[in-house]
Structure 1
Amino acid sequence: MAESNPERDNNRKLLVVGLIVVLLTINGILFYMQHQKTQKVEEQEEVIRVKNSELENQIKVYEALKADFERQSEELQAMGLSNDSLEAKITQINGDLIKLQGFRKTSFSLADQRKYRDRAANLENQLKKKDQEIAKLKEDNEVLFGENTTLKTTQTQLTDTISTLKTNNQELTEKVALASRLEAQNIQVNIINNRGKEKDDNADEFKAKRVDKIRISFNLGKNEVAAKETKEILMRLIEPDGSALYNLSTGSGTFMLNGEETFYTAKRDIVFDNSQQAVSFVYSKGAEYKRGLHTIEIYADGYQIGKSTFTLK
């Protein structure tokens, strides 16, 4: 049996220990490298997650900006105003949103993040300034609306006043017109026979067949309101059957009475001088007069100013 060599055994032990140390060292290195790789992957995933979060946040910011600019545009339109710069900003934001949404499929770099953050901050400042402008416009509009309402109220009051004045003026005109109407006073009818003898109609024995002419006389009553001017005085001699005597050859004609064309028997033009002046008509029928009640009507300025009757037997 061979004798053991202590030195050889020691060397063998040292070799085994060395191998174990080497293996442990290699395993440690491998573990470290794997840990580093895992950590790097996690860091990369975190970076991607942060970038994605930033991207989604930016998309939300731009969507909110778009909604606010659209709100401003609607508010201006409600006030009857338009703003091309707002429409341009909305178009710009729509373009930025399309680009931001495209970054979901590509990398969203730090440079891109800074770029869109800065643009969003600039848009937010513009949004705030425009909100202040709109608030001022609304305030001015409220003031103008109040002033306009006051003006409309004043205008309505003026219109009412003018309407009242017109009504009062019309009423006054009507009163003046009514007060200025002439009046035929003391109307008398005299009968003239074929021998030129004149007699009033109270003579019972006077016969219709003996009448040649009829004289109608009256005075124009005093009237301080009536204008001193030429007046057209019309006389209607109405027979018992209700028809007015009418003969163009003796000066008869027509005039408007209550909207209807009406015959008159004779006409006189006189200058009214408010002196209770006398006016008379002498009418010859040229034929035998009818028996019965005859009516005399006197007109001036389209109104009846006197009326009387007489009877022929």
Structure 2
Amino acid sequence: MTENKTNKENHSAAPQKKTNKKTAIVVAILAVIIILQGVKIYLDHQESVARETELTDTEEELASTMQKLSDIKSELEDKIAQIQELGGNVDELEKAKADIENELARQQRANRSTIRNLSDKVGGYKELLKQKDEEIAHLKSLNDELLNENTSLKTEKNQLSDSINRIKQSSEKLADKVAVASQLKAENITIYAVNSRGKERDSPFKSRHIDKLKVMFNIAENKVAPIEGKDIIVRIIDQNNQVIFDVAKGSGTFMIDGKEVFFTASQEILFDNTKQQLTFEYQKGSEWEEGIYTMEVYTDDYKMGTKQFEVK
């Protein structure tokens, strides 16, 4: 009976061991699956982190590149303004500026290839700006040279103008001196009263003795005056400052000091610098009033000489 009981226990333990073994296998498989799933989740997480990091780096690099482009655009605008002011050609810079504006306008997310292209362009633009800095420096140097040359030319021009003005003033002064020096002078002036019988009397003389008035003088020697034709004019002015004239007897008018005035008599001569003597005769046709008279001699709007005579 005891042996049967033992056999029964052995027979019931065998299925239980099989069950336990299957359970262990299932648990092991589940454990492996869980481990693999955990590894996959970890790897996926690491890959996601790497992608996010890469994306963040890409965005930061893109933003940095875009900022550099914006900065270069500002520099290009400054360079364009400077070169235009200096008279240089800005076509190349304008093209570069338009290219940058197009790149900035796209505002799209860029991959590494695009960023490399933009970075290359940034480098090219920096090199262009460097070249333009050298061009600006050269243009400034040329402008400075031109400014110095212009300043020098202006100084020379001013000095030349001063010299010309001084020469002109000296010439004008010399011309004035020559003009004054060349003026003719009447000398040895004599005035006679001639009666009807031809007798001549010196001043003072009586009215009844004056049939006609005779004026004589020499033209003084003047080595400066040119030999040329001259109109010699005589004016006789009474005590009331009135000119004695008669148009029918050759009297007329001439300009003196910008005014038209009467003259008593005139002669046209050729001045030959020989101290030539001139004679003027004037018949009044009426009695001469008592008083002091003044005789003036003119030519070329200036006075050659003067002398007074008295009628009693």
Q: Which amino acid aligns with 1:21?
A: A
1:32 and 1:89 mapped to 2: Cα distance? 52
Instruction: Choose 263-272 or 152-161, whichever is displaced more.
Output: 263-272
Q: Which amino acid aligns with 2:164?
A: I
2:87 and 2:176 mapped to 1: Cα distance? 49
Normalising to structure 2: TM-score of the pair? 0.91
Instruction: Choose 170-179 or 275-284, whichever is displaced more.
Output: 275-284
User: 1:251: which partner in 2?
Assistant: 250
User: 1:19: which partner in 2?
Assistant: 26
Q: Tell me the C-alpha RMSD between the 2 structures.
A: 1.9
Q: Which amino acid aligns with 1:273?
A: D
2:91 and 2:254 mapped to 1: Cα distance? 71
1:7 and 1:251 mapped to 2: Cα distance? 181
Correspondence list, 1:188-203, <5 A:
188-202=190-204
Match of 1:59 among 55, 66, 80: 66
User: 1:146: which partner in 2?
Assistant: 148
Shift of 1:63: 1.0
Q: Deviations over 1:230-257 (max 9, x none)?
A: 2211110111110112222222222221
User: 2:233: which partner in 1?
Assistant: 234
1:186 and 1:38 mapped to 2: Cα distance? 137
Q: Which amino acid aligns with 2:218?
A: N
Is the Cα contact below 8 Å between 2:203 and 2:311 reproduced in 1? yes
Q: Which amino acid aligns with 2:55?
A: I
Instruction: Choose 79-88 or 271-280, whichever is displaced more.
Output: 79-88
- Matched residue count: 305
Normalising to structure 1: TM-score of the pair? 0.91
Is the Cα contact below 8 Å between 2:218 and 2:277 reproduced in 1? yes
Is the Cα contact below 8 Å between 1:240 and 1:290 reproduced in 2? no
Shift of 1:216: 0.9
Shift of 1:82: 4.6
User: 1:265: which partner in 2?
Assistant: 264
Instruction: Choose 289-298 or 11-20, whichever is displaced more.
Output: 11-20
Q: Which amino acid aligns with 1:312?
A: V
3-state SS of 1:290 partner: coil
2:268 and 2:300 mapped to 1: Cα distance? 12
Q: Which amino acid aligns with 1:180?
A: S
1:61 and 1:53 mapped to 2: Cα distance? 12
Q: Deviations over 1:164-186 (max 9, x none)?
A: 00000000000000111111112
2:121 and 2:63 mapped to 1: Cα distance? 16
3-state SS of 2:274 partner: coil
Unpaired segments ≥5 residues, structure 1 = none
Correspondence list, 1:204-243, <5 A:
206-243=205-242
Q: Identity percentage over the alignment? A: 33
